[in-house]
């Protein structure tokens, strides 16, 4: 039983397909992350205004404020904060 070596054209097309799949996966993960941030903003907007409006965004400060006030968050915001815990 002998195996033949794949042609250069086959190897190139396989590499191109792998790169394309990787690019699509990266794009989908970025879209998913953007969707999650948008959903979090909507779900926690009132809670942020009520509890954390004096906190400047960045460095995880808003997330910390929401976590610190978890018991009094709206149910929708609690779901989002719980889902993103540790991220």
Q: Tell me if 1 is assigned to some domain.
A: no
With respect to residue 73, please indicate whether it lies within any of the assigned structural domains.
yes
Over 60: is that where the pLDDT of 57 sits?
Answer: yes
The domain in which residue 28 lies consists of 8-83
Q: Distance between CA atoms of 28 and 37, rounded to whole angstroms?
A: 14
What is the phi/psi pair of residue 56, to 5°?
-85, 135
The answer for residues whose C-beta is within 8 angstroms of residue 6's C-beta and 6 or more apart is 14
**To the nearest 5 percent, what fractions of the chain are helix, strand and coil?**
75, 0, 25
Q: What is the pTM of this model?
A: 0.56
**Other CB atoms closer than 10 Å to residue 44's CB: what's the count?**
23
The reply to whether 3 falls in a domain is no
Query: Does 2 fall in a domain?
Result: no
Residue 41: is its pLDDT beyond 70?
yes
Q: Per the structure, how many domains does the chain have? A: 1
Mean pLDDT of 34-53: 83
Residue 15 lies in a domain: yes
> What is the average pLDDT score of the chain?
82
Per the CB < 8 A criterion, the answer to whether 47 and 74 are in contact is: yes
Whether 17 is in a domain gets the answer yes
């Amino acid at each position: 039983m002998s195996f033949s070596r794949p042609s250069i054209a086959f190897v190139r097309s396989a590499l191109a397909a792998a790169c394309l799949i990787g690019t699509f996966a990266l794009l989908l993960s970025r879209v998913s992350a953007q969707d999650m941030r948008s959903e979090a903003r909507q779900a926690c907007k009132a809670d942020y205004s009520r509890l954390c409006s004096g906190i400047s965004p960045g460095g995880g400060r808003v997330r910390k404020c929401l976590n610190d006030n978890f018991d009094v968050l709206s149910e929708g915001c609690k779901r989002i904060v719980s889902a993103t815990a540790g991220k």
